[in-house]
A and B are shown apart, each in its own frame.
Chain A
């Protein structure tokens, strides 16, 4: 069974229709839409750029930390080696620090 309602009516006059015709209003709506669209596009670009900068900074930071860890290990190994040669005690972080100062 269809769910349509059928009504009979009088023909709407051209004058009545003309009251609704307004091209300037349509143009204004269209301009608003274009402005909004451009703003959204600009916002998306800004977000993408911010995201890329954030990613770059994260990668840099991770690389930096990795580098630091690597350097720390190298220093420790060098000291350990020196200590053994000079026949001094090996253990202890403070001891290694002193060696580095030299």
Chain B
């Protein structure tokens, strides 16, 4: 995200503090991303709809308190969405669901066609199932939402080095167990 885009969003937010209708532009811009982010953690369209609108409502309620902290506005949005999802699971006491798009999983790995079969996919799912929730959250934000470590740290309320450590630990285990190369390995 460029500096100009961040400034533009900030200007919209300042307007939205006085008139909530001005928030519409940001709502349109981020709705799909937030919906996907929540849907990946619920796998239920109606529930996602509820949590998504709750997220945007919380944003509107607290917009007066928003202040720029070196990360784009979207990070704040993801943080609120993440909190809403966590709140839901705490209330329901259900197992947390991570529904991953098959296409995205295949995109993640630089695997030649000959070595990529259903068996590896199943092993990967088993591997993901064994991962702790905090590692899964980091992987999700890193590889499915393309967030940098600074944003991940802000969203999950951890340190930047903590976010890096969790990601690399999960990736190391992936490489060891599956002997496969992962895209974005060199991405910083």
* Partner-B contacts on A (CB < 8 A): 1-12, 14, 16-17, 20-21, 23, 25-27, 29-30, 33
Cα–Cα, bound, A94→B86 (Å): 80
Instruction: Chain B residues near A20: list those with CB within 8 A.
Output: 35, 45, 48-49, 52
- Does B24 reach chain A (CB closer than 8 Å)? yes
Query: Cβ of A9 and Cβ of B132 under 8 Å apart?
Result: no
Cα–Cα, bound, A85→B81 (Å): 91
Cα–Cα, bound, A25→B57 (Å): 10
Query: Cβ of A7 and Cβ of B133 under 8 Å apart?
Result: no
Given contacts A14-B32, A20-B52, A21-B31, contact A6 B100 (CB under 8 A): yes
- Does B28 reach chain A (CB closer than 8 Å)? yes
How many inter-chain contacts with C-beta < 8 Å in the A-B complex?
Answer: 92
Given contacts A7-B99, A9-B43, A23-B28, contact A33 B128 (CB under 8 A): no
Q: Distance in Å from the Cβ of B120 to the closest Cβ of chain A? A: 13
User: In terms of DSSP, what is the predominant structure of the interface of chain A?
Assistant: mixed
* Partner-A contacts on B (CB < 8 A): 20-21, 24, 27-28, 31-32, 35-36, 39, 43, 45, 48-49, 52-53, 56-57, 60-61, 95-105, 121, 125, 128-133, 136
Closest to B50 in A: A20
Per CB-CB distance, the 6 closest pairs between chain A and chain B, nearest first, are A7-B99, A20-B49, A11-B101, A6-B128, A3-B95, A9-B99
User: In terms of DSSP, what is the predominant structure of the interface of chain B?
Assistant: helix
Query: Cβ of B24 and Cβ of A23 under 8 Å apart?
Result: yes
Closest to B56 in A: A26
Given contacts A26-B27, A30-B20, contact A7 B53 (CB under 8 A): no
Instruction: Chain B residues near A17: list those with CB within 8 A.
Output: 31-32, 35-36
Cα–Cα, bound, A18→B105 (Å): 24
Q: Please, could you name 9 A-B residue pairs with CB atoms under 8 Å apart, sorted by A?
A: A3-B95, A4-B98, A9-B43, A10-B103, A20-B35, A21-B28, A23-B24, A26-B27, A30-B61
Contact among B45, B98, B121, B132 with A5 in the assembled complex (CB-CB below 8 Å): B98
Cα–Cα, bound, A20→B74 (Å): 19
Q: Distance in Å from the Cβ of A11 to the closest Cβ of chain B? A: 5
Query: Cβ of A2 and Cβ of B131 under 8 Å apart?
Result: yes
Query: Cβ of A4 and Cβ of B129 under 8 Å apart?
Result: yes
